[in-house]
Amino acid sequence: MSQQQSEKDKRKEKIKAIVLSLNELFPSISLQTLHQVVLDCNLDEALAIETVIQMCEENGDLLEASIDDEEKEEEHETPECGCDHHDHEEENYEEEEEIEYNEDDIVGEEHYFDDDIGEQVDESAFVEVVKTREFKTKGELYKVLDTKELLQDQEAEVKTAAETLQLKSKVFVECMLKEYQWNTEKLIRDYGDLGLDALLTKCGLNPDFKKSCSSSTIGTCDACYSDDVPLYAYDMCGHVFCRTCWKEYIVNHVKTAMNDNTVKCMDYSCKTTLTETFMLSQLDPKEDKELFEKFFQRKIDSYVGSSYRLKWCPNPGCDGPYAIKKLCDESLYIAQCKCGEECCFQCDKDPHFPCSCDVYKRFLTIAQDDFASKEFIHRTSQQCNKCKRIIFKDVGCNHINCVCGHEFCYICGSEYTSYVHAETVCAPKTVKTSEDIKLFSAAEELYGRFVSLYRRHNQWLEEHKRTGHYRLEIANYKEKFFHIRPTKDLKFLLDSFRNIYRCRRLLRSCYAFAYIHFGFDTLKIKFNTTKKSEKEFLMLETYGYLFNDHLSRLEDYTSDLLLNLDAILNLSLDERDFRSRITTMQGKSHLITNTQKNIIDFINTSFDMKEISYK
Ligand SMILES: [Zn+2]
Ligand SMILES: [Zn+2]
Ligand SMILES: [Zn+2]
Ligand SMILES: [Zn+2]
Ligand SMILES: [Zn+2]
Ligand SMILES: [Zn+2]
């Protein structure tokens, strides 16, 4: 009996939780109505939201006044969810109606325009989910630095390493870090393994070097062969050249953006690293002011270019320059620059979860070069040498009579001169096994759809990246309507756009993932007919269907959201219509957040992302 009681309590708790979350989304609809919808939908939150949205669309009055009891009865008699538990719910209803809703939890209409209420849609929620799911790391994953901060950051790196290695000369430490591509951990490890002297030698530095005054002598310069000129020695190795030659050498280095990280001594056989102090001492601060600036610019470039943790923002229109510094050791698949651009730190492309960089690259080759259809044609067809028509043949004789009159062999493509075209004289250009043909036609049929869906989203995303269309439209709208529409709603429009953008980006890479993972790879298993792979295939196929199901949900919600956004931006709506659209959008946004979470959960639980290795 008590167990039954606790079951009932649990159910009540659940109903209450769903009703309250619906109340947040639809604050103008009465709790009784929401409560009833939740029961009608058998406690399915997603279904309940859809039902309420539908109700709002069908009956705009709902938004202004909550329906009274008679109407509620009507609603109840014609449930929209079509579930078959209504009689049962009916019996429990009296009892369950007793649920008390805490007033603090309820979002009422009077609060609706209050800007203090938290955002309805947490735009960063999705990014957060991806981050935590993918990396399971707490704390900052990356930071964005401008040029000034980069110099400070570099100094800080040098300082930390110098302290750990207990070295006084920061100039030396900087040279070593450059040699180690700013991988401090590796430098410290090698310090432990090799000892200081060997480490310094490895980095082109002289361990016995004690700072001494740069001595000048008179003699012949080995670089320009001028006689009786003052020669200056680089103390670390003792090589001497005239001032003009040293300067030319260093200026050359500063001016030409070479990729080498450290600058070596001018003597061609000498591997000694020139320190920054020495190089700067060869320049005149007054005369070479421009060169000094260039020198520091070069220093930053070389820092970003050589550090495996740093990368310039890949956005060509970035208002920085800003560099992204990776703080975590794991791969960083999504990072956002201060200019707003989001990218994959590893490969510079747009974020592409759930694809790995390799899988995404592999898919892009397919999508861009129309690889799939070319490969398909190549594998399953033959081309007439005379008129260049592509001929497909499923069954039947290999003797092809082309419409142009040319007769040729389907296997090797050569002209059919004799009816005894035996296998001995036939030398196939490409081997077309029936397995290949089956595989590619199956892949094309099942998963070619993914490629076209990918392209649809890609086109939209690229178009927007280029034109910034929606951002402009929304800005115009704000300017035009700021006096009659609540600020909160205007902000919500931009949030919704961001939401749509991210959804389409997620969908785009999900289709790429599905094509590679459920397409070719699944089919390869299918045509490999061992018992084990048969099982694997069935499992993958099921996953494929489930995944597709999630994606089409997200497709629907996203296009609904976009449809309403378009309507608000392009049609002159009256207040009631505007409000109804906003409410619909809020509902859809909530569904989108849930679906995104489901997709990410699905991927993370169905596949061990680390174990998927593509070659
Ligand atoms: Zn010289
Ligand atoms: Zn030297
Ligand atoms: Zn940027
Ligand atoms: Zn990547
Ligand atoms: Zn022909
Ligand atoms: Zn032949």
102 & 251 share domain:
no
Q: Give distance in angstroms: CA of 498 to centre of ligand 3.
A: 17
DSSP assignment string, 425-481: T---SS---HHHHHHHHHHHHHHHHHHHHHHHHHHHHHHHHHH-HHHHHHHHHHHHH
Average pLDDT, the chain: 77
Domain end point (choices 63, 89, 111) = 111
Quote the CA–CA distance of 204 and 118 in Å, as a whole number.
58
The CATH number covering residue 265 comes to: 3.30.40.10
Q: Give distance in angstroms: CA of 270 to centre of ligand 4.
A: 40
Number of domains in the chain: 3
Question: So what's the pLDDT on residue 9?
Answer: 84
448 & 593 share domain:
yes
Within a domain: residue 200? Answer: yes
Question: So what's the pLDDT on residue 584?
Answer: 95
Question: So what's the pLDDT on residue 105?
Answer: 64
161 & 267 share domain:
yes
Strands of the 240-242 sheet, one edge to the other: 216-219, 229-233, 240-242
Domain end point (choices 257, 279, 312) = 312
- pLDDT higher than 90, residue 94: no
Residue whose structure tokens are 């699944």: 522
Q: Which ligand is nearest to the CA of 432?
A: 6
Q: Is the ipTM of this complex over 0.85?
A: no
Task: Tell me the residue range of the domain where 85 lies.
Answer: 2-111
Domain end point (choices 111, 136, 171) = 111
Q: What is the mean pLDDT of residues 402-422?
A: 73
Structure tokens at 443: 């892949």
32 & 160 share domain:
no
Task: Please state, in angstroms and as integers, the Cα–Cα distance from residue 246 to each residue in 60, 210, 233, 316, 473, following that order.
Answer: 82, 21, 10, 37, 58
The CATH number covering residue 581 comes to: 1.20.120
Q: Which ligand is nearest to the CA of 410?
A: 6
13 & 76 share domain:
yes
104 & 152 share domain:
no
pLDDT in tens, 282-329: 888 888 888 888 888 888 888 898 888 999 998 877 888 899 999 988
Q: Which ligand is nearest to the CA of 244?
A: 1
Quote the CA–CA distance of 68 and 80 in Å, as a whole number.
19
Q: What is the mean pLDDT of residues 268-277?
A: 88
Q: Which ligand is nearest to the CA of 390?
A: 5
96 & 164 share domain:
no
Within a domain: residue 382? Answer: no
Q: What is the mean pLDDT of residues 115-119?
A: 33
In the chain, % of residues over pLDDT 90: 22
Q: Which amino acid is at 496?
A: S
Q: Give distance in angstroms: CA of 410 to centre of ligand 1.
A: 73
Query: For the chain, first and last CA: distance in Å?
Result: 59
Within a domain: residue 390? Answer: no
90 & 173 share domain:
no
596 & 464 share domain:
yes
163 & 300 share domain:
yes
User: Which residues, listed in sequence order, are joined to residue 144 by a DSSP beta bridge?
Assistant: 324
Task: Please state, in angstroms and as integers, the Cα–Cα distance from residue 457 to each residue in 373, 469, 506, 591, following that order.
Answer: 20, 15, 10, 20
Q: Which long-range contacts (CB under 8 A, 24 or more apart) does 489-494 make?
A: 489/578, 489/582, 492/120, 492/121, 492/582, 492/585, 492/586, 493/565, 493/568, 493/569
Closest residue by Cα to residue 325 from 337, 342, 309: 309
Quote the CA–CA distance of 426 and 593 in Å, as a whole number.
60
The three-class DSSP label of residue 390 is strand
H or E element, residue 569 = helix 531-570
